[in-house]
Structure 1
């Protein structure tokens, strides 16, 4: 424990010297940076309300971790995230990478591959969610995520080769749906093996600085009753009999080794693209749950499949519905919501609609995706931010909507903020909490303020550090802040 404390002190000292992180001079002690839930908010170690803007980082082919190359992830990528105000990441820690050869047998070299990336991100103050990503189960079905030893092709389909069904239609096949039903039913102890995987992941990351916890399973598939998720009020019985018990079991496993980090539940997959209710519930005695929800407007998805209609404006109503459902679901779960996937398009207007809606709801988000990385389970190639994964100096135009002025950490509550992507004007208000000694920390988009900016505030002292603003000494009561780009 003493060695750990010394290591953390050294790490924080390195951050302060680098100039890339604000180490609050008035903050109390070298607390490990880690997020937890308070109400519907993400809260840091100093008690500040945190808003996360970031990306998904999922390398879907072996070895299931990005290489140390320009095409993968390097120190230059971590610096790019900091320079553009992105403070969040969803990292695909795949079951197939952790236990590649047998149940419970850990490949520590896989953790080491990711630790390189994790250390680079932590050094830039990026909050990280560890995601057990899967799409269509395994490569046998044109997907990824689950180890080969965990693929038990059921009869009678195992008598024949699996047909080359594209993503996501492969989910709809009776065989893949049966595979998921068998998993939920713990056939051959497979669900228990998955829980063991999560205990091993939690044991690895329980003390990791800049953790925001564990996302249990990406877009869980309901199984053969999936049509009922469309037709019968979002298939509540599937949640009660399969999704909730399985995720509760993983939660219990994680809590046996890590009692503190957030554990994120996910609704069934179709809720990401259809305006249907979700039915997760709270867990007795558990106060640190998260709702990891996805938002993919069906009109945008149809366009990615080649449907020759521009229905982008219909995404306003769609994302409003999904935001409201997420807030209602999180409240029912006693959880904090996070829009952990959205976008996956080069449609700038669709991105603006979703990001503006998130701002209006104080909703943290992780865009899909940072880089395309030859994604095998996607509708098109419009996923990443860059024209070429190996050239981060050449982003796509959608970056103008993703790089936004926003409060990364607020020393108070009752937060409201707004950002105009055309003029760059930013306003926020909050009720200051004088017991929080760390500053309110705001990122200012350099894309809409290339010549600098002014900050006006109704209380407190402003300190500017490039694209970052710290506000201290705000006392108590309502604080109003306006940031205006210089002409």
Structure 2
């Protein structure tokens, strides 16, 4: 009798342990919910609050996605990588979802690229690791020594100067004649944050936010991705754009005032793009950010993307850099106030 009781207890223990392990590896959909603490929190289908700590993984050139075939110390996301990340307690990867990878030619979407992204999400999920897909950009496009949007979405025809003028003369930039891009070896000689000040870069951001055909292409991109990845387990959400610039700072220098670009440019752009995602995947979390020049001033957003009704599926994000941010504690206190709005 005692032996049977001991066996039953062992089976119960094993069953409980198995359930615990299953929950540890669970990457079911996460939503924002109001909690008793009066704070919104990430909550999974089991009612547990989820806290995320993780890494960035962004490939800033072709093929625009980490390797999935074999381990590479710099560029892979394979089983060996996931084993290390799991052992370190990492439970989310902010993965670069690169627009040129999704849509290398205007209107022609790359299903193979999406399949690679989905493979990474699936393999990460097997280790209990979520993936946040980030439409990454730095200086918007390869046209400007950066990366982010494909050439057809980097529209600067109405800029005061062609890139890189007046920062430097075009002939001295070792132009790639085939692609009409500056060569990366020459770009690397220049501090990349300074390139945002080129009038062509500001104009291209302005057109992305406000010019109807260009903004529609941005929405089309996200609508395609949302449709392709709807229902994917382990997908935490979509980040609309990484570290957006203020817009046309030459024609509208007041956009450099903290809060102004959020209010006058990004609010309307996000109000358009985020619903394009929710039209295809209503439950998906959308992550959105203000410009990095807001510093410790309040962000300029009046509501979550698309209106206050979307607060439960919108996540405000922010990045700390020194410079332009100079005071750590005031910065984080200010951004938390913004997130609670």
Q: In 1, distance between residues paired with 2:322 and 2:55?
A: 18
Does 2:317 align with 1:292? yes
Call closer, same or farther: CA 1:20–1:279 in 2, change over 3 Å.
farther
Does 2:267 align with 1:244? yes
**What's the CA shift string for 1:164-205, capped at 9, x where partnerless?**
553111111111111111221225x01001001001111122
**What's the CA shift string for 1:51-81, capped at 9, x where partnerless?**
1010111111111001133222211000111
SS of 1:217 mapped into structure 2: coil
Residue of structure 2 aligned with 1:199, choices 223, 232, 238: 223
Residue of structure 2 aligned with 1:83, choices 62, 74, 87: 87
Q: Specify the alignment match of 2:29 in structure 1.
A: 34
Any conservation in 2 of the 1:31–1:45 contact (CA below 8 Å)? no
SS of 2:85 mapped into structure 1: helix
Q: Specify the alignment match of 1:370 in structure 2.
A: none
Any conservation in 2 of the 1:21–1:125 contact (CA below 8 Å)? no
Q: Specify the alignment match of 1:276 in structure 2.
A: 297
Does 2:151 align with 1:148? yes
Q: In 1, distance between residues paired with 2:191 and 2:270?
A: 28
RMSD: 2.7
Bigger relative contact order, structure 1 or 2, given CA contacts below 8 A and separation 6+? 1
Does 2:196 align with 1:175? no
Bigger share in strand: 1
**What's the CA shift string for 1:76-123, capped at 9, x where partnerless?**
0001111110001111111111111113x2100111222222222110
Gap regions ≥5 residues in structure 2: 1-14, 35-39, 164-168, 174-186
Deviation of residue 154 (structure 1)? Answer: 2.2
Any conservation in 2 of the 1:229–1:270 contact (CA below 8 Å)? no
Call closer, same or farther: CA 1:167–1:95 in 2, change over 3 Å.
same
Superposed, 1:377-416 pairs within 5 Å as none
Call closer, same or farther: CA 1:251–1:67 in 2, change over 3 Å.
same
- Using structure 2 for the length normalisation, give the TM-score: 0.77
- Using structure 1 for the length normalisation, give the TM-score: 0.55
Residue of structure 2 aligned with 1:321, choices 326, 330, 337: 330
**What's the CA shift string for 1:324-383, capped at 9, x where partnerless?**
122111111xxxxxxxxxxxxxxxxxxxxxxxxxxxxxxxxxxxxxxxxxxxxxxxxxxx
Q: Specify the alignment match of 1:23 in structure 2.
A: 22
Superposed, 1:327-346 pairs within 5 Å as 327-332=336-341
Q: In 2, distance between residues paired with 1:24 and 1:262?
A: 21
SS of 2:207 mapped into structure 1: helix
Q: Specify the alignment match of 2:99 in structure 1.
A: 95
Does 2:147 align with 1:126? no
Deviation of residue 20 (structure 1)? Answer: 12
Bigger share in helix: 2
Q: Specify the alignment match of 2:65 in structure 1.
A: 65
Any conservation in 1 of the 2:131–2:236 contact (CA below 8 Å)? yes
Q: In 2, distance between residues paired with 1:98 and 1:221?
A: 22
Q: In 2, distance between residues paired with 1:62 and 1:137?
A: 15
Q: In 1, distance between residues paired with 2:94 and 2:273?
A: 19
Q: In 1, distance between residues paired with 2:123 and 2:265?
A: 37
Q: In 1, distance between residues paired with 2:335 and 2:205?
A: 24
Q: In 1, distance between residues paired with 2:276 and 2:50?
A: 27
SS of 1:42 mapped into structure 2: strand
SS of 1:55 mapped into structure 2: strand
Call closer, same or farther: CA 1:285–1:74 in 2, change over 3 Å.
same
Residue of structure 1 aligned with 2:209, choices 180, 184, 192: 184
Q: Specify the alignment match of 1:8 in structure 2.
A: none
Superposed, 1:347-386 pairs within 5 Å as none
Deviating above 4 A after TM superposition, structure 1's stretches of 4 or more consecutive aligned residues are 162-165
Any conservation in 2 of the 1:142–1:166 contact (CA below 8 Å)? no
Any conservation in 2 of the 1:20–1:82 contact (CA below 8 Å)? no
Gap regions ≥5 residues in structure 1: 1-15, 302-314, 333-487
Deviation of residue 130 (structure 1)? Answer: 1.0
SS of 1:321 mapped into structure 2: helix
Residue of structure 2 aligned with 1:135, choices 126, 134, 138: 138
